[in-house]
Structure 1
């Protein structure tokens, strides 16, 4: 009985979740380099700015509908990035120097100083819906030790969340931007229970744009305004994969 009472008491305690949206700042860093090598820098930047807008609006909906307190942050690759992102709705942090593993570790450590759980997502999966993330965050509320991971179709991951920090040496031991990245990360989470989200695409290359268009077209009635604008842009630039 005492155990049940403790569990009930714990469940009633508000859980504060920080969401770090990893992004680059157009004008300070090259964005979507593989995409730009095929379609050109202008179109790649145009896509990325729309992807950022979709991610921003999705997080607004997550904050409004989640039963857990959610606090989005931009996690920017450039030291001057937070100044450029001022006014985009959420606090902006610099990820610090180093490779992606070091930056993931830095942001995670910084946010765990102030929050009960940390979620890290990318900014190049604009098809994600808020309900998808709300459900994933709910999993963390029921089991803070759980690692919730969303695999990307290219072998990486688009979502990572937990209520207990992952050691820096784990983040830094993974090889990123490879088709083995997701499997490497999961294999290093020894002793942690893992909840797997559905596999999703991100956009790295020109061929991903048509797949994204088909993805968004399949859920027109459920799209946010920014996602509808992105879909219209994709349809208007449907030949860009051949540029």
Structure 2
């Protein structure tokens, strides 16, 4: 059963997991069609797009950028990206890093939401809906169409939610549901969204983002669309 809705709004932090957009590090599964440098450039556009989403939520949700490598690494200065509030992701696999961040954030906030920069269809309204869900539930998830998830929100830290997950596989969402159930948490799911991982996902980019890409990448996406992805 969902919890009764609190009398006052939750304090909620949005934590964005972001990799430096470097060739060979970011969006490597797109390198076969965009090249290593093109994949890195594309990754930078995804970060910029996510920054704009966060900017639209200023005053509603506090955003913290969780960076890999650490914020002081020269690669971030070289990227030209600037973050108002940032912290390092630290060591470990994705689950260890997200779990540590969630634990730390929940020491100062009522709730935390974790996202990446891979889902350009994620909108400010999706994030507002997720916050509203956390008013009543222990957790909220937005699944990805490939079996992962694009958002996980929590009201309490539970280490098991981030353990024994096959990160990067099509089982992430299902395994996380099992972990939430075993932890005794009540959760709700919003409609699934598509994240952008490989060439087959590129034709599904929002047109507004395609128009921001370099002409060569726009042409590549047009070719993929003409071939049915």
TM-score by length of structure 1 reads 0.79
Q: How does 1:1-243 map to 2 (within 5 A)?
A: 10-12=6-8, 14-27=9-22, 30-64=25-59, 66=60, 70-80=61-71, 84=76, 88-141=82-135, 143=136, 145-165=137-157, 167-190=158-181, 191-212=184-205, 216-217=206-207, 229-230=212-213, 235-238=218-221
Residue aligned with 1:149, SS:
strand
Q: Map Cα deviations across residues 124-147 of structure 1 (whole Å, 9 max, x no partner).
A: 111221111111111212x2x421
More helix by share: 1
Consecutive unaligned residues of structure 1, counting only runs of 5 or more, are: 1-6, 218-222
Consecutive unaligned residues of structure 2, counting only runs of 5 or more, are: none
> When the two structures are aligned, how many residues end up with a matched partner?
217
Alpha-carbon distance between aligned partners in 1 of 2:63 and 2:148, rounded to the nearest angstrom? 22
CA contact (8 A) 1:148 1:160 kept: yes
Q: Map Cα deviations across residues 85-127 of structure 1 (whole Å, 9 max, x no partner).
A: 7972431111110111101111101111211110000101112
Q: RMSD of the TM alignment (CA)?
A: 2.7
Q: Report the alpha carbon displacement of residue 29 of structure 1 after superposing the two structures with TM.
A: 6.6
Alpha-carbon distance between aligned partners in 2 of 1:234 and 1:21, rounded to the nearest angstrom? 25
TM-score by length of structure 2 reads 0.83
Moved over 3 A (4+): 80-83, 230-237, 239-242
Q: Report the alpha carbon displacement of residue 62 of structure 1 after superposing the two structures with TM.
A: 2.1
